[in-house]
Structure 1
Amino acid sequence: MRNLTLLIFCFFSLCTVGCENTDTRLVTEAGFDAVRAVALSDKAVQQMAVRSSAYADSKKRVAPATSKYARRLKRLVGDHYQEGDLTFNYKVYLAQEVNAFAMADGTIRVYSGLMDMFTDDELRFVIGHEMGHVALKHIHKKLKMAYASSAVRKAIAATDSTAGEIARSQLGNFVQVLMGAQFSQLEEKEADDYSLAFMKEKGYAPQAAVSALKKLATLNNKHSFLSSHPAPGMRAERLQMQLDGKATSIEDQKKGLWDKAKGVVVFVVNLVVGLLRWLTGLL
């Protein structure tokens, strides 16, 4: 780890060699950010998520506990504040965006625009989907990406006074990256599968997962929720195939591949052992 740290600092130092206006403080900060992006522990991720969530809440209009949105969300969430070893907290942002997001500390935020559009069980699918991103540690990757973005931005700012002023003034940039970073197609499918299993386990209507995604598909990418949750129509078809018994979840596919791999390994080992025994018998 020490060697990796030195390499990263050397990289950022080389990037600014020969620049008269280099801000050494920003270069140092960029180096630290890059190291953190590689070596973030789960505890550090949790701590940063708590701070990021508080900042996001301070910049949004949070629905008071007495509002119809907050009361509805509380009813929908029920006792889902603790799932396994994960603790979740929920709030509604009063905004017409069709959006929702999660943080690594279990923060889940739902926009009132999404609540206006979805039925109760469709919202439960969205909540389960965000739970999945937390449980499967997709959010950890997002946070590391946000730190990497911070490192690059500071390295550039260190060599240009104008860029430096912009970088220093972007106090909310880190949180914006966390809230807006795009998940991979695989991560979205895994979160969908997590939510579908969650709905089945809790006795909610699993068909709502399909109808929720179909509703998102009608928005034609006009809302920010779609920029971080791509191809909702295809995802709806995929979940419908699972409900019809014509497809399996990503987790089941992984288990199937693992079982096949173990079978191949056992076959090869038995073949080698048999061959060795045969050769031993010839000697």
Structure 2
Amino acid sequence: MHHLKPIAISVIMAAALAGCGAIKNADTGALTQAGGSAYKAMSLTDSDIATMSDQSCAAMDQKNQIAPANSRYTTRLNQVVRGMPTSVNDKTANYKVYLTKDVNAWAMANGCIRVYSGLMDLMNDDELRGVIGHEIGHVALGHSKGRMQTAYAASAVRGLASAAGGVVGQLSQSQAGDLGEKFINAQFSQSQESAADNYSFDLLTERKLERKGLVSSFQKLAALNTGGSGSSILSSHPPSSDRAAAMQKRLQSAK
């Protein structure tokens, strides 16, 4: 086991945890297939990840209310992302707003970037730009690929096989939606969160954009998290207050 990469271990653990509730009613053949799904997840190609991201993003778009082009949220988001990347890892960045009170944002490896109106209501433009840069960082640094692998393994095991066996391109609407939900609700590791924070800081620096929003955005998320929200963006490791302090330290060192 010590020869496996960290992502491989996390995928196997996710698969095992997701399958626990079904083990009592599963036969040996089903469990073998489920276990194979975890290993299958580790070997997914970039093309597989992009295909699953396309389908998962499309499914999530159907499940949520997207702000129309003439919405004040869409207009504002378009202004906020001016000067931000138009592509990530050679995938065109596709920015949209979900009309919901939830405070969240996420990005998939195919360039699908979604910002919730609840987050936009909470943040000013500089803060919002910092959060978006953070989500882009997860994609650029390969974290989103690993997160999709983990989500795939958990989803396949829960259904005892569904998406295993090389049928990535044939996910049903419900499977794609389930995969998208698991991706969005999964957590990144502490080191990945910190790396994405630093990516956003460097991105804003490179593009000569205000970086103070990275500090105040995490301060706002830390204050909001005291209310016990279940949003994935608030389930931060390290805590949002620590991340705000780390960004403040970098900001002071850059002066």
TM-score by length of 1: 0.70
**Residue 231 in structure 1 maps to residue 228 in structure 2:** no
Aligned pairs, number: 220
List aligned pairs for 1:1-283, cutoff 5 A.
Answer: 22=27, 30=34, 33-79=37-83, 80-83=85-88, 85-155=90-160, 171=175, 172-219=177-224, 220=226, 221-224=228-231, 225-227=233-235, 230-245=238-253
Between 1 and 2, higher relative CO (CA 8 Å, sep ≥ 6) is seen in 2
Query: Would the aligned equivalents of 2:88 and 2:140 in 1 still touch at CA under 8 Å?
Result: no
What is the distance in 1 between the residues matched to 2:25 and 2:243? 52
Paired residue type of 1:133: H
Give distance in 2, aligned partners of 1:65 and 1:102. Answer: 20
TM-score (norm 2): 0.77
**DSSP 3-state at the match of 1:40:** coil
After superposition, the CA RMSD in angstroms is: 2.9
> Residue 23 and residue 83 in structure 1: after superposition, are their counterparts in 2 closer, same or farther (change >3 A)?
closer
Question: One-letter code of the match for 1:53?
Answer: C
Alpha carbons 1:99, 1:223 under 8 Å: kept: no
Unaligned runs of 5+ in 2: 1-11, 163-171
How far apart are 1:72 and its partner, in Å? 0.6
Gaps of 5+ in 1: 1-7, 158-167, 247-283
Deviation at 1:100, TM superposition (A): 0.5
Question: Aligned partners of 2:87 and 2:181: how far apart in 1?
Answer: 27
Hey, what's the Cα distance between the residues in 1 that align with 2:112 and 2:89? 15
Cross-structure match for 2:168:
none
Kindly indicate which of the two structures has a greater share of residues assigned to helix. Answer: 1
The structure having more radius of gyration, on CA atoms, is: 1
1:38 CA displacement: 1.7
